[in-house]
Copies of this chain bind each other. A is one copy, B any other.
Amino acid sequence: MRDSSEGGRLDSFDLAILDILQKDNGTPQRVIGEKVNLSSAAVHRRIRRMQEEGVIVGNYAVVDPLRVGLPFTVVVEVHVESERLDLLDAAKRSFAGDPQVQQCYYVTGEADFVLIVTVPSMSAYEALTRRLFFGNNNVKKFRTLVVMDRIKTGLAVTLDDA
């Protein structure tokens, strides 16, 4: 196994293709080819290579939480008691394994974890706090920030040339 940045570097074609796919991965390869001045076959090969190399992590449809009965988004800061590795790992698994936890970050600074949570109701959030926080001895405290406006929500990333 090679190092973690396996695979060759990305050229400007790759970046241009990624730029398009990040906005709409349903864009036909033919259209992408026209925009970046490449044949559709070349586009196809590059996309496949980037998938294999892990540059492209996945291809997802994004659903509006409001339309599927999940009107509440909550940001939670979690503080732990001990930073023992096994306890941190247990917490990570517990947070990541919960289907209502959309995102989970382990952070330095004034908190230890930041979670983005999507729930159908505030009582469901309360249940989640019991499940994940009160049910975990290693959680010292947590701060709840209720989202009033989801101003920007993508996972897209800026792609300037290196």
Chain A residues within CB distance 8 Å of chain B: 4-5, 7, 10, 15, 18, 21-26, 53-70, 73, 75, 77, 92, 95-96, 99-111, 114, 118, 143-159, 162
Contacts and interface: CB of A to CB of B under 8 A. Distances in A.
Contacts of A21: 60-61
How many copies are assembled? 2
Given A149-B92, A151-B92, A155-B153, A109 B63 contact: no
A154 B68 contact: no
Which secondary structure characterizes the binding site on chain A? mixed
A103 B159 CA distance: 16
Contacts of A18: 61, 63, 68
Closest 7 A-B residue pairs measured CB to CB? Answer: A21-B61, A106-B149, A107-B145, A109-B145, A25-B61, A104-B152, A99-B158
Contacts of A162: 69
Given A99-B158, A103-B154, A154-B102, A5 B109 contact: no
Contacts of A110: 143, 145
B5 A66 contact: yes
B59 A158 contact: no
A62 B67 contact: no
Contacts of A70: 157-158
